[in-house]
Amino acid sequence: MSAVDIDRFERIVLVHLDSAYTLARYLLHDEHDAQDVVQDAALRAMRHFDGFRGGDARAWLLTIVRNCCYSLRRKQRGQPRTVGLDEADAVATADTDSADAEVLRRTEQALVQRAVASLPAEFREVIVLREIEAMSYAEIATVTGVPVGTVMSRLSRARNRLATLLAPAAREAS
């Protein structure tokens, strides 16, 4: 790959690295696995960059990242499972400033994060792509490889489940 191509690749594809890493974190629940998968996906994307003729680079990269996540999961399924990170720990805990509002905000964040983490992967990914990435149904369909109608129904069911999980009654019970 020439210097010019690398430059193009960085401008067009690598600018979406945060999105790629975010999707991998939500799908894998593990910081190190997510880093490995995103690196692998970025290198695959680079190898196939010749075949990329414009279009939606973010959707293209995320499709590769998603496939890498699923194949890592399949591989791991045969192996003894390492204990995943508790998502509550993964919630950013930056400073020690514990003003009440901040504590509340973090509790809310941990609660929502845990609810999303408990969803099956096919629901979790549509929530991430829609609510964090603000992708259209057509883009989500590209990334997840299912028809738009399926995206629509998965998203609706995922939101229903979240509503139940996040309802005040469920909060008290947990």
Partner 1 sequence: MTCAIATERLDAYRDRELEDDEAEQLRRHVDQCAECASRLAELARQSTRLRDALVRYSAPDTLRARIRSALGPADAAPPVRPAVPRRQAEWMRLAAAVLVTAIVSGGGAYLAARQELTARSTTDAVVSAHVRSLMPGHLTDVASTEHHSVKPWFNGRVDLSPGVPDLAASGFPLVGGRLDYIGGRPVAAVVYARRQHLINVFSWPDGSGRLTPTVTRTERGYHIIRWSAAGVETWAVSDLNPAELRQFTAAFAAGR
Query: What is the smallest separation between the CB atom of 54 and partner 1, expressed in angstroms?
Result: 20
Q: In the bound complex, what is the minimum distance in angstroms from residue 170's beta carbon to partner 1?
A: 13
Residue (15 or 145) nearer to partner 1, CB: 15
Question: Judged by CB, which is closer to partner 1: 73, or 159?
Answer: 159
Which residues would be at the binding site for partner 1 (CB under 8 A)? 1, 3, 6-7, 9-11, 14-15, 17-18, 20-22, 25, 35, 38-39, 42-43, 46, 90-92, 108-109, 111-113, 116, 127-128, 130-132, 136-137, 152, 155-156, 159, 162-163, 166
For residue 100, what are its two tokens? 């009440």
Choose between 112 and 146: whose C-beta lies nearer to partner 1.
Answer: 112
Least distance to partner 1 from the beta carbon of 80, Å? Answer: 26
